[in-house]
A and B are shown apart, each in its own frame.
Chain A
Amino acid sequence: MHVTLSVNGTEHALDIDPRTTLLDALRDHLDLTGTKKGCDHGQCGACTILLDGKRINSCLTLAVMHEGDAITTVEGLSTPDALSPLQAAFVAHDGYQCGYCTPGQICSATGMLEEIAAGWPSHVTDDLEADPALTREEISERMSGNLCRCSAYPNIVDAIAEVGGAAK
């Protein structure tokens, strides 16, 4: 099946099996292997990407459903020489170990900070009317879909808090 995917600002015309997930299209067909596969079932967050700016698990959607959508992967956030503020903060705070969950954490955090800025409440937000504060508790709650078996969690939260300008 033909589909044209717009990934990190570049259009890619693909002829793929309709069963191909967006994740496998990125990894196997476009060689964008920064997006990781940890479970293929929407259970780990390693495959998180930004779809029109919103974070999604790319293993849970089919590539052919995304003609015309703006897809951003971790490769689209930077180059190794010019990291995004979140990427640089992950390095500075050691917000990873093996690095396998890391692109998902970073894409997820990028989307998450936008959600907070847009005023979306979470399970731990006390006041649903007010703008949610960027506390450690909010960050941890909102990032809980991104597993890290190396368990860099406290460092990841430090990195996100610094970039998001969290209340101490």
Chain B
Amino acid sequence: MNITFKMDEPVGSSLLDHTRQNVISRPIDRIEGPLKVAGRARYSAEFKFPGMVHGVLVGSTIPAGTITGINETRARALPGVLAVVTDYETFLRNPGQGLETEAPAQGVREIAYFGQPVALVVAETFEAARNAAGALDIAYAPAEARLDFRALQSEARPKESSQKSQGDLDRAMMDAAASIDAVWTTPSQNSAAMEPHASTALWEGDTLIVYGAYQMLSSDRQQLADALGLAPDKVRIIAHYVGGGFGAKLGISQESVAAALAARALNRPVQVVMTRQQVFEATVRRSETIQRVRLAAGADGRLTGIGHETITANLPDEDFSEPASASTQFLYGGEARRFGNSIVTLNQVLSASMRAPGEAVGMLALEGAMDELAEALDIDPVELRKRNLPPRHPMDDLPFSSRSLAECLDHGASAFGWADRNPRPANRREGEWWIGQGMAAAARSNMLITSSARVTLGTDSRALIETDMTDIGTGTYTILAQIAAEMLGLPVEAIDVHLGDTAFPAAAGSGGSFGAASAGTSVYLACKRLRETLAERIGATPEELVLSEGMARRGNAAKPFSELVTEPLVATATVEPGKTEENFVQAAFGAHFAEVGVHVHTGEIRVRRMHGTFAAGRILNEKTARSQCIGGMVFGIGTALTEELVHDTRLGTIVNHDLAEYHLPVHADVPRIDVVFLEERDHAANPLLAKGIGELGISGAGAAIANAVYNACGMRVRDFPLTLDKLIAHLPDPDAVQP
């Protein structure tokens, strides 16, 4: 039984609202949790095969130029070394972008950035390979490199598809009762998932099997097949567990192709794990941005104009550009509008998607500007936002599929105690600390991506879900089991979930907050099909059918599955995006509130508490959803206060290419975080009536913190991250307000 469903019309109602099993949405524990806490969940570099050997990548030591020769003599002479694998044409120069189905840029004789992997040294042991990797002598003809983003910003080329405008923004700015026109800058960042990129490659005949740390297996398989000149069905990627991704593992990265080539050359399984430094230097980063935001408003606080223009960077021939204005385009009204991106070509590692590409840094600027506007107009920041919610998309004139933003703002304000905030900056002191509070809206676009799953109802009253969807920490295993349990009237324990293997039906993968809704819908549809069969078998209409406790019921008549299912029942379902994508603005929304302390003498910033109220359609599991939002909000702390990839503008190196110097938030940086979900259903999104939440928590979180810093000490820092060196010279007189 194969069915395909296209999301062309809003769905009237969802079976999940009628099945009454009380499983969906419940905060149940992750079903794979015991394996993870016991150290028994296996990640990509944790599979061993007879004869397996280890490869270590060697990166370029110049940022631009050409390789003139590789001398293997010293490396080959070391004990245990088996091969130096180089393939100038086939090795990946850049990692892949998400959802791409063609090979990423290949060819490594030309060097495009410092650390570009150019060779793989393979040895019997990891120790021998690592040692020999340092003994490979590579000669280069260096070329002039483009390394200084700020110096080269005037050479940015506009990205045509991103240019949008309506009305006369310049006029609106001139006529405004209050206006903001300022530039925000955000630094280069790295996803820094805790599991480094890794591939374990082996060949079975002419089929390549890769245990790869990837987020989107079905498109990654196509990228890898294309890179190696194989048919996609000759490539199988397996990723049962992925140690975080946050965008950095959307496309394939260089170790996959290198491991595959080495495994073929040596006829042995080859494992390649990037070092942490290589993850920083050669995988994916979020581009630095320069964002000009303009807001024009009347005295009543209503926006008459809004502009959000962004300069980003990327490698030659790469056209991804952090879409910083993504949510700005529909979040607030205002007749005159202008948006657009331009790209500076740089010899620095690939810019691509990192958690919430666009909103994660775009909302730092937009929501900072809104805070400044609120102050200029003497309107409460929450109220200013509520006054500017457009009834429909301000440019495309489309309705919102669902938008509980005003409700989130109100609920969050009251839960946080916003009414007690002192709106005067640098006016509240406790001991050695200035205390401040800030807020920001949250918004993140919602998407549906084609996704398939197979559900088998066995003769043992158990169901099996199979799809190549991944769980990168997002809770996929658990929510898919909950959907099936709810739909089939079985306990969660009776659902087996097999993910992360391209041998299963192709799923959307984990990215862009679309994973749960897309993969979840495919499971829902397959279960719906199974319900129809069960209904037929007891002579009920699908509407009459009630499934619970492994029994099918119609009125008072009941039959156990064991009688109805004598052969395994299999249904495969595919969901595809359709017209609701064009006919509605779809996004999840929320409101962030933060309280910080700024040290009166040093300018050190400590986040004291955070609150987020979110509405994202049906919440599939309140526990994992809450964790997703907390995770996003902590990313917001890093974005606001600590994270900055520092690129050396002379050598092209990344100065802080490790976890000691690239500062992720740690335990001590993270306070108690409150997360509340408001009840909502989105009928245009998908039959689950759910929207994505994986990136909602980060969108706006850093802005709430920066706005709180202003409220604490009266300093507007528009250059992220807000490190203390940017505050210390201008801190207010500590004695102006007594503690």
A7 at the interface (CB under 8 A from B): no
> Do A91 and B29 have beta carbons less than 8 Å apart?
yes
Q: How many residues of B contact A (CB 8 A)?
A: 64
A141-B668, A147-B664, A157-B667 as given contacts; A35 in contact with B39, CB under 8 Å: yes
Q: Mark B456-492, 1 if CB is under 8 A from A, else 0.
A: 0000000000000000111100000000000000000
Which A residues are in CB contact (< 8 Å) with B80? Answer: 17
Interface set, chain A 118-155, CB cutoff 8 A to B: 136, 139-141, 143-155
B30 at the interface (CB under 8 A from A): yes
Q: Mark A88-120, 1 if CB is under 8 A from B, else 0.
A: 101110101111111100100000000000000
Q: Mark A21-60, 1 if CB is under 8 A from B, else 0.
A: 0001001100111111111110110100000000000000
Which B residues are in CB contact (< 8 Å) with A38? Answer: 194-196, 276, 659
- 12 cross-chain CB contacts under 8 A: A46-B194, A75-B39, A80-B40, A91-B30, A97-B627, A98-B193, A98-B473, A99-B32, A100-B244, A103-B39, A152-B631, A154-B670
Complex formed: what's the CA distance from A75 to B35 in Å? 10
Interchain nearest-CB distance for A140 vs B (Å): 4
> Do B634 and A151 have beta carbons less than 8 Å apart?
yes
Pick from B34, B192, B626: contact of A94, CB below 8 A. Answer: B626
A17-B128, A36-B194, A144-B668 as given contacts; A102 in contact with B36, CB under 8 Å: yes
> Do A43 and B660 have beta carbons less than 8 Å apart?
yes
Q: Mark B171-197, 1 if CB is under 8 A from A, else 0.
A: 000000000000000000001111110
Which B residues are in CB contact (< 8 Å) with A17? Answer: 80, 125, 127-128
A13 at the interface (CB under 8 A from B): no
| Chain B interfacial positions (CB closer than 8 Å to A) | 29-30, 32-43, 45-46, 48, 80, 125-128, 131, 191-196, 241-244, 246, 273, 275-276, 472-475, 623-624, 626-628, 630-635, 658-660, 664-668, 670-673
Complex formed: what's the CA distance from A32 to B242 in Å? 18
Interface range on chain A: under 10, 10 to 19, 20 to 34, or 35 or more? 35 or more
Which A residues are in CB contact (< 8 Å) with B125? Answer: 17, 20, 28
Complex formed: what's the CA distance from A150 to B624 in Å? 12
Which A residues are in CB contact (< 8 Å) with B43? Answer: 33, 36, 100
Which B residues are in CB contact (< 8 Å) with A106? Answer: 37
Pick from A83, A101, A146: contact of B34, CB below 8 A. Answer: A83
Which B residues are in CB contact (< 8 Å) with A81? Answer: 34
Which B residues are in CB contact (< 8 Å) with A100? Answer: 43, 193-195, 243-244, 473
Pick from A24, A41, A43, A83: contact of B126, CB below 8 A. Answer: A24
> Do B670 and A98 have beta carbons less than 8 Å apart?
no
Q: Is the interface of B mostly helix, strand, loop or mixed?
A: loop
A43-B659, A149-B244, A151-B630 as given contacts; A80 in contact with B668, CB under 8 Å: no
> Do B246 and A144 have beta carbons less than 8 Å apart?
no
Interchain nearest-CB distance for B473 vs A (Å): 3
> Do A144 and B667 have beta carbons less than 8 Å apart?
yes
Which A residues are in CB contact (< 8 Å) with B633? Answer: 151
A38-B194, A144-B668 as given contacts; A154 in contact with B243, CB under 8 Å: no
Which A residues are in CB contact (< 8 Å) with B665? Answer: 151, 153
Which A residues are in CB contact (< 8 Å) with B668? Answer: 140-141, 144
Which B residues are in CB contact (< 8 Å) with A75? Answer: 38-40
Interchain nearest-CB distance for A26 vs B (Å): 10
> Do B666 and A147 have beta carbons less than 8 Å apart?
yes
> Do B658 and A33 have beta carbons less than 8 Å apart?
no
> Do B39 and A91 have beta carbons less than 8 Å apart?
no
Minimum-distance CB pairs A-B, first 5: A34-B39, A100-B243, A98-B473, A97-B473, A99-B36
> Do B30 and A94 have beta carbons less than 8 Å apart?
yes
Complex formed: what's the CA distance from A32 to B38 in Å? 11
> Do B244 and A74 have beta carbons less than 8 Å apart?
no
A29's nearest neighbour on chain B, judged by CB, is B125
Complex formed: what's the CA distance from A18 to B627 in Å? 42
Which A residues are in CB contact (< 8 Å) with B634? Answer: 151, 153
> Do A156 and B631 have beta carbons less than 8 Å apart?
no
> Do B39 and A73 have beta carbons less than 8 Å apart?
yes
Interchain nearest-CB distance for A87 vs B (Å): 4
Complex formed: what's the CA distance from A81 to B40 in Å? 12
A78 at the interface (CB under 8 A from B): yes
Which A residues are in CB contact (< 8 Å) with B472? Answer: 98
Complex formed: what's the CA distance from A38 to B192 in Å? 10
B626's nearest neighbour on chain A, judged by CB, is A94
> Do B635 and A36 have beta carbons less than 8 Å apart?
no
Interchain nearest-CB distance for A76 vs B (Å): 9
> Do A150 and B473 have beta carbons less than 8 Å apart?
yes
Which A residues are in CB contact (< 8 Å) with B127? Answer: 17, 19-20, 24
Complex formed: what's the CA distance from A44 to B193 in Å? 11
